[in-house]
Structure 1
Amino acid sequence: MLKLNTLAVDASARYVIAITSVEELESALTFARTRGLEWFVIGAGSNLILASDFSGLIIHNQISGREILSDNGASVVLKAGAGEVWHDWVRYTLRQGLAGLENLSLIPGTVGAAPVQNIGAYGEEIANSLLSVQVYDCDRSEVRTLSAAECEFAYRDSLFKQQAGRFVILSVTFKLCRYGAPGGHYDFNLSYQPLADLTAKTPPNSPQDVSDIVCAIRREKLPDPQQIPNVGSFFKNPVIDVSHFERLHHEYPSMPHYPAQKGVKVAAGWLIDQLGWKGYRNALVGIHEQQALVLINHGGGRGADILALAQQVADSVFKQFEIQLEIEPVVLGGSSVPGHSSSRFEPGR
């Protein structure tokens, strides 16, 4: 599994099967069930922590395909296979002059894994442009199409996380705007402050302009997994109640914060940075020197090493701020990290 996870954890699986169609998926599931094997679906492995070797079947989703379903001039409905590389898909939509996914440029992973976590960046989430998801329902042994509402999207959450193991995503359908179309109107989402600052003097003239700026910001702040093994942002931004926030804000006036549906969202990276973790490293793993949210594998680190460091970070944040951090990546194997997912069937990004 070394080359199937961007943390470069050298763990093994008993079986790995790559699938490119529904029929191959059904064959893989039959293979697992008749042998009594646990199974687990992965995409690019860019949101996955292999905490141990896996004695079951890894199903590597490589279902490809791109299709324009409708185009009325102002908006376009188009579909992508679950195995398509996410950033390649975003670039494809930009080449068509379509807007909606530009803020989500350069996020690692695949199209099929994006709805699982409701990926988001720079003020945008996939839920805002997703129309429907085609899935294989393992409980019913049938292909179904779920509307965006049925996906139950929330902050880094979805039906696919809540009912891990029931659905395997086959394709995702989006509704995007044709930028500059007659009679159409589209406002770029520049709510993320660094993005707003960089576009204040020179407003973007196209979705590609926004994408280019987003890519530049990401490259400056986040390491390339191919160069420095990582899974991107490791911890979710926690949401705390208003009274808790007010107490902390009184003590830390510069604490970044954002409105949330149930309380106030605070920046996990800022919390970790305040405790001096940025740039920390031990013999095997560490924290990126430019971004406190990114845990990295310096070489030879196991999943257990990454999770042990995450536990140390979470413990220190709780001790100082009384805030419980939750991790974003999916964990395959056991762990004691607060908020981690230990579901053996939950799909990884």
Structure 2
Amino acid sequence: MKSMHHQNYPLDNRNSFALAATAKDIYLLNSLQQLQQLATSLPEHFYILGGGSNTLFIEDYQGTVICPEFKGIAVTETDADYKLHVASGENWHQLVQHCLANNMPGLENLALIPGNCGAAPIQNIGAYGVEFADICDYVDWFEFSSHKVRRLSKAECLFAYRDSIFKNSLKNKGVICAVGISLKKQWLPVLKYQGLNTLGEKPTPKQVFDKVIAIRQSKLPDPDILPNAGSFFKNPIVDKASYQALVKQYPMMPAYPQVNGKMKLAAGWLIDQCQLKGASVGGAAVHKLQALVLINENNASGQDIIALARLVKQTVKNKFQVNIEPEVRFITHCGEQQIEDIG
């Protein structure tokens, strides 16, 4: 166990906000056997960390960080589909590139989403009209209590907008080891999203991939240059009555109908309307080009980013009477906390 266990471990290279925090203990796991061994004496306080693209360490974490770094991509075929079995430690964007290079399109709308494949089902990552749930076959999940790997079907994952069973009843009960992805051989481009609908009737998968990357790069700063966690806030979903009241006042407000009759609003637009682009607290700032992104502009502390997030949240609430919730997870010295509960 020694080689994979480290103490007082720096986390600045393991979170895309590049915050200078440490973990009291960390386990870097690259085999199921190591995970099973750790589960026999599981620490009381732990946090499971993937690529760190959705995690904000506000301060040094006094518990144990568990990093599943399993690797491997296996492909089988049926008449209709390519079936991929992808280990949780694989990088998501590299998987998208791998599929494209091997003539297995279907993931290109999800290009350039930061993080590892094991986080994709937790968040039910999505972009440009496609969600992980659309291509998910199953999730292999190691259960701490039984020390066994369970295979959850797509239906059992209870996917919803930026949500899944892994954020709720299964949270901290185990670790995602692998994901099963199904890509149709009869590829159909998803072009309904603004910006992709200019590609014409029959673009190639590579053209869709290139366009998604161009749009993302024009909107989102590169975390290697300006540390950030991508979209900081979820797009809020409101009922019809609230939407109708808002659209009377703001006829240009973008909104997207949901299956349950509710409407999804664009958090970035709401923040932009509050003229918060460029707003800063300490070393943290709202990105000047994309209001949905908070950045570590100048050696920000976790507290700077929290204070800025609260400012944005409150300003939007005051102007629109709409609650925007962070997509990012906040880790204090004692573990994960909601933004409202952090002192």
Structure 2 letter corresponding to 1:236: K
1:60 to 67, 83, 87: 67
CA distance in 2 between partners of 1:140 and 1:208 (Å): 43
Tell me which residue corresponds to 2:18: 8
For the structure 1 residues 158 and 335, does the alpha-carbon distance in structure 2 shift closer, same or farther, using more than 3 Å as the test?
closer
For the structure 1 residues 335 and 152, does the alpha-carbon distance in structure 2 shift closer, same or farther, using more than 3 Å as the test?
closer
Q: SS state of the match for residue 107, structure 1?
A: coil
Segment of structure 1 superposing worse, 118-127 or 132-141: 132-141
2:258 is the counterpart of 1:252: no
2:306 is the counterpart of 1:307: yes
For the structure 1 residues 336 and 31, does the alpha-carbon distance in structure 2 shift closer, same or farther, using more than 3 Å as the test?
closer
Structure 2 letter corresponding to 1:218: R
Segments of 5+ residues of structure 2 without an aligned counterpart are 1-10
CA distance in 2 between partners of 1:282 and 1:238 (Å): 24
The equivalences for 1:182-331 within 5 A come to 185-197=186-198, 199-200=199-200, 203-262=201-260, 263-331=262-330
CA distance in 2 between partners of 1:161 and 1:335 (Å): 13
Contact 1:307 1:335 in 2 (8 A): no
Tell me which residue corresponds to 1:130: 136
1:72 to 59, 78, 84: 78
How far is 1:204 from its partner?
A: 4.6
For the structure 1 residues 85 and 79, does the alpha-carbon distance in structure 2 shift closer, same or farther, using more than 3 Å as the test?
same
How far is 1:73 from its partner?
A: 4.5
Q: RCO (CA 8 Å, sep 6+): is it higher in 1 or 2? A: 1
2:53 is the counterpart of 1:46: yes
How far is 1:140 from its partner?
A: 2.5
Segment of structure 1 superposing worse, 22-31 or 227-236: 22-31
Q: SS state of the match for residue 140, structure 1?
A: coil
**Identical aligned residues as a percent:** 39
1:28 to 38, 51, 73: 38
How far is 1:60 from its partner?
A: 1.3
CA distance in 1 between partners of 2:299 and 2:39 (Å): 32
How far is 1:88 from its partner?
A: 0.5
For the structure 1 residues 14 and 31, does the alpha-carbon distance in structure 2 shift closer, same or farther, using more than 3 Å as the test?
farther
CA distance in 2 between partners of 1:125 and 1:265 (Å): 15
What number of residue pairs does the alignment pair up?
327
Tell me which residue corresponds to 2:106: 100
Show CA shifts across 1:117-136 (max 9, x none).
00000011010001001110
Contact 1:51 1:335 in 2 (8 A): no
Segments of 5+ residues of structure 1 without an aligned counterpart are 179-184, 343-349
Tell me which residue corresponds to 2:121: 115
CA distance in 1 between partners of 2:125 and 2:231 (Å): 11
Q: SS state of the match for residue 179, structure 2?
A: strand
Show CA shifts across 1:96-152 (max 9, x none).
211221100010000011110000000110100010011101233211100000000
